[in-house]
Amino acid sequence: MIRTERLRLLPVREEDKNALHAIYGDPNTVRYLTEEAWTASTVNKAFQKKLEFSRRQDAFFYVITLQGMRIGTVSAWHTAMKDTWEIGYVLHASYRHKGYALEAVCAVIDELFARDDVHRITACMDARNIPSARLCKRAGMRLEAHYIQDFWNKDEWTDSYVFGLLRDEYLAEDE
């Protein structure tokens, strides 16, 4: 578990399925993600994938909670590159624009850089997801790349942004 001023980031559990269905079942919430909105017929399989991901040794998947309410998720996974982790996050529409996602992402960045084996953290996203790009900038990450029509997703070519933050940059922010 990770605690912040307002939030608790808890490992995903079986009892989180309905709350995550409410989040990932919203087509607007998953609009820029690679997965489709969860439906009654897909929720079990989609949730199982999240549980399996959370059990990996090189990844974690937290449910963001606010006063006991499950309001989103934040995850991180080791990439194929040495000492590099990627982060991802999703927030229920009712809880956006209140700083919760930023608070959760910053807590995960802090947690990752507390490890000795993390040199770099990245976030990759659909370039149309402007709120997500703003969040990365506020979290201290810099835009490193804007790839043009590099990703085929949901029957269309999309642009991608890649944000990054190095351990040295992170440590320099604290000085």
Are the C-beta atoms of residues 95 and 83 closer than 8 Å to each other?
no
Are the C-beta atoms of residues 131 and 72 closer than 8 Å to each other?
no
Average pLDDT, the chain: 96
pLDDT at 175: 65
Domain boundaries, the chain: 2-173
Percent of the chain whose pLDDT exceeds 70: 99
Kind and range of the H or E element at 38? none
Q: How far is it, in rounded angstroms, from Cα 147 to Cα 124?
A: 10
Are the C-beta atoms of residues 119 and 100 closer than 8 Å to each other?
no
Per-residue pLDDT tens digits for 96-132: 999 999 999 999 999 999 999 999 999 999 999 999 9
| SS3 at position 66 | strand
Per-residue pLDDT tens digits for 48-107: 999 999 999 999 999 999 999 999 999 999 999 999 999 999 999 999 999 999 999 999
| SS3 at position 45 | helix
| SS3 at position 141 | coil
Homologous superfamily of domain range 2-173:
Gcn5-related N-acetyltransferase (GNAT) (3.40.630.30)
Q: How far is it, in rounded angstroms, from Cα 84 to Cα 77?
A: 9
